[in-house]
Each structure stands twice: as C-alpha cells, then as structure tokens.
C-alpha cells in the first residue's frame, strides 16, 4: 500500500510531583513549563506519482502542504542535501514539479527535493490562488512563509538524516523572490540559492541581513516583461541585485564574463561570475538574450535551468565552497 502516514506525537513537557516538599505550588518561582504542541503532519504517496509524497500540516492556523521526493537509491552513507523548489505566483507545487525535472538529477546526485505549496493571497493590492509573502506586490499578506519553510525543514529532518549544512532554495519568479527572501532571513539554515526569473523586492533588499557569505545564482531573460531585467517600482533590477550580493560577499568588483552565441537560433547567453568572495562563494548571472518569463530547457533555450541550479548550489555548504 503506497501510503505512509507520519503523525508526529504531541510533545508534552510537564513536571510530575510526588507530593510533599517536591510538589510545586502557585508561588513556586520555577513553575513547570507550559504544554507545547509540536507540528504534526500526514504524508502519503500521490495518486499521480507513486514516488512523490504529499505532506499536509497545520501551520500558524493555516492548512499548508508540500510534496517531497526521496530517491529510492538514497545513500545514507553520503551527504544528503535538500533542494527546495518554489513555484511562481499563482502557480502550484505540482506544476513546478512537472517542468523542473529535478527527479533524474536527484537520483543521480543523492539529494531530496521539496516542493512547498504557497498559500492563496487576497489583499487590497492583489489576489491569487497562491503566493510567497516577500513584500512588493504581496504587501498586505500576513502569511508566515519564512516560518513555514523553517518548519518544513524540521519536519524533513525527522524523516531523513539530511546534511543540515547543505539546504538550498531554488525558485521560479515569485519562488525566486522567496529564495532571496530566505537567503536574507533564514540564512542560518539556507546555504545557497538560485533564482530563475525572480528578483528582490525593495522590502527584501532594504531589510536583508544574511548571517554568512551566500552563493547566488540568477538566471534571467532579457525579454522578460513580467520581472524586467531593469526592474520596476516593486522589484529591484537584476544588476542591482547582483551588485548587492557581490558587495555583501566581498567579491571582486568586476565580474568575469563569457558568452555562448547561437547563430542558428539567434540568441546569446552571457554569463557573469563574481569570484574571490569570502569563503570562496560565487555570485553568478546567466542572461539569455531571447528568453522571456520562463524556465529554460536545453532543447529550446540551449540551457537547462534545473541542471544549472543543481550544479551551482551543490558546490557550497553553510561555510562556503566545499573542497
């Protein structure tokens, strides 16, 4: 039966007094700690993919869920990283799963993929079937997405003995914005991030406070009109974002540049890499001349975003480049 149910038991912290001088009274200066409810979840294999599990939980009073892929051939003797894969605004974890094609990469490289589902948004500024709360156009949202991702990390740790120093976040569009948001606000857990067609909102940018040099990969298209390369009032330009991270990581002031020119299909892929950063991290931009707001694949854009994401983030842990 393709069904696994994880129900995390209620954690009850209390004191058991035996009467007399050992019992505690209302005037005791050290009263027993309060009862604490741990987050519980129910996980079961999906009907549309017998290797992918959906885990449902209650977080901050909201019904949340995520999908998790654990390779059958997972080698517990090796490092087991987690890659978060965050969908775009109005999209879904299932849809993101369908076009990222991380599964074969995870099988070959011994890591777990987690696809969280964003919560519906309904504010005076915008409404959507799903979003990640990052500021910008999502201002007004009260959803605690940073805490949600943090809770999911803890839940995954209870299922698999993962490498806590190798937790990565990737995302498309709003998911890319959220990956930057995690790099700024959950950096004690997030080792490296990759954004595809995302950016940073002014709110994320102005309040960013990472705790360690952070490897950054940005994949973007010059024809992206949803998240323009030069930014909008509620999203920073890609050059500004790259400069921020290069400066924060104390990288070389000038990036190393290289280009791939495809004359048959009429596009150029420019790559800029800021090196010589603290802890040997990198800040990398892959800019495609004919790409719009999409997740590129090898057969249509000459580049696989999924491959680029894993090849980049997997070089690093919380302490920098892995030797």
Q: Give the pLDDT confidence score for residue 44 in this predicted structure.
A: 96
pLDDT at 112: 98
pLDDT of residue 323: 80
198: which 2 tokens? Answer: 């995302």
- Rounded to 5 degrees, φ, ψ at 188 are -70, -15
Asked whether the beta carbons of 214 and 244 are under 8 A apart, the reply is no
Other Cβ atoms less than 10 A from the Cβ of 124: the count is 7
Three-state SS for 94-134 is HHHHHHHCCHHHHHHHCCEEEEECCEEEECCCCEEEEECCC
Other CB atoms within 10 A of residue 269 CB: 20
Report the DSSP pairing between strands 267-274 and 283-288: antiparallel
Q: Please state the pTM of the whole predicted model.
A: 0.88
* Contacts of 78 by beta carbon, 8 Å cutoff, 6+ apart: 110
Query: Which residue's structure tokens are 């959906």?
Result: 54
The whole-angstrom separation of Cα 107 and Cα 116 is 20
Is residue 39 classed as helix, strand or coil in its secondary structure?
coil
Question: DSSP class of residue 294?
Answer: S
Query: Within a domain: residue 29?
Result: no
What is the spatial distance between Cα 182 and Cα 96, in angstroms, rounded to a whole number?
19
The pLDDT of residue 38: 63
Phi and psi for 176 in degrees, rounded to 5? -70, -40
Task: Give a yes or no: residue 7 inside a domain.
Answer: no
Domain that holds residue 259: 43-321
Length of the chain as a residue count: 323
Instruction: Give residue for tokens 């299932």.
Output: 94
CATH code where residue 159 lies: 3.40.50.1820
Enumerate residue ranges in the chain where pLDDT < 50.
1-29, 31-37
In a domain, 97, yes or no: yes
- Report if residue 104 sits inside a domain: yes
Measured between alpha carbons, how far apart are the two ends of the chain, in Å? 42
CA distance 107 to 264: 34
Contact 93, 173 (CB under 8 A): no
**Beta pairing, strands 119-122 & 167-172:** unpaired
Angle among Cα 251, 253, 256 to the nearest 5 degrees reads: 85
Is residue 22 a part of any domain in this protein? no
Residue 317 domain-assigned? Answer: yes
307 is a domain residue: yes
Q: How far is CA 160 from the centre of its chain?
A: 18
Contacts of 60 (CB under 8 A, 6+ apart): 143, 144, 147, 148
Based on the structure, what is the number of domains in the chain? 1
Helix, strand or coil, per DSSP, at residue 137? helix
Angstrom distance (rounded) from CA 87 to CA 65: 13
Those residues whose C-beta lies under 8 Å from the C-beta of residue 187, and which sit 6 or more positions away, are 209, 210, 211, 212, 214
Contact 277, 253 (CB under 8 A): no
18 is a domain residue: no
223 and 290 Cβ atoms separated by less than 8 Å:
yes
């Amino acid at each position: 039966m393709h069904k696994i149910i994880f129900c995390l038991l209620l954690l009850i912290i209390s004191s058991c007094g035996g009467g007399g001088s050992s019992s505690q009274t209302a005037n005791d200066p050290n009263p027993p700690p309060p009862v604490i409810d741990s987050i519980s979840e129910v996980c079961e294999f999906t009907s549309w993919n017998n290797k992918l599990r959906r885990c449902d939980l209650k977080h901050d009073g909201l019904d949340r869920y995520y999908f998790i892929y654990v390779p059958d051939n997972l080698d517990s003797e090796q490092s087991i990283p987690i890659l978060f894969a965050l969908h775009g605004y109005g999209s879904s974890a299932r849809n993101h799963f369908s076009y990222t094609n991380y599964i074969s990469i995870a099988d070959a490289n011994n890591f777990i993929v987690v696809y969280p589902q964003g919560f519906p948004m309904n504010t005076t500024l915008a409404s959507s079937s799903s979003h990640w709360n990052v500021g910008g156009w999502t201002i007004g949202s009260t959803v605690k997405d940073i805490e949600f991702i943090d809770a999911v990390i803890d839940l995954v740790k209870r299922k698999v003995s993962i490498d806590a120093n190798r937790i990565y976040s990737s995302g498309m569009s709003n998911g890319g914005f959220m990956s930057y948001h995690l790099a700024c606000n959950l950096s004690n857990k997030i080792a490296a991030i990759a954004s595809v067609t995302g950016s940073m909102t002014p709110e994320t940018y102005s309040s960013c406070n990472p705790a360690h040099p952070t490897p950054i990969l940005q994949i973007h298209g010059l024809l992206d009109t949803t998240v323009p390369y030069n930014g909008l009032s509620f999203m920073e330009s890609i050059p500004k974002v790259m400069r921020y991270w290069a400066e924060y990581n104390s990288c070389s002031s000038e990036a190393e540049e290289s280009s791939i020119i495809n004359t048959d299909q009429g596009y150029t892929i420019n790559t800029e890499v800021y090196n010589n950063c603290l802890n040997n991290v990198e800040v990398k931009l892959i800019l495609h001349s004919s790409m719009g707001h999409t997740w590129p694949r090898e057969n249509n854009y000459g580049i696989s975003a999924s491959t680029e994401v894993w090849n980049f983030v997997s070089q690093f842990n919380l302490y920098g480049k892995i030797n």
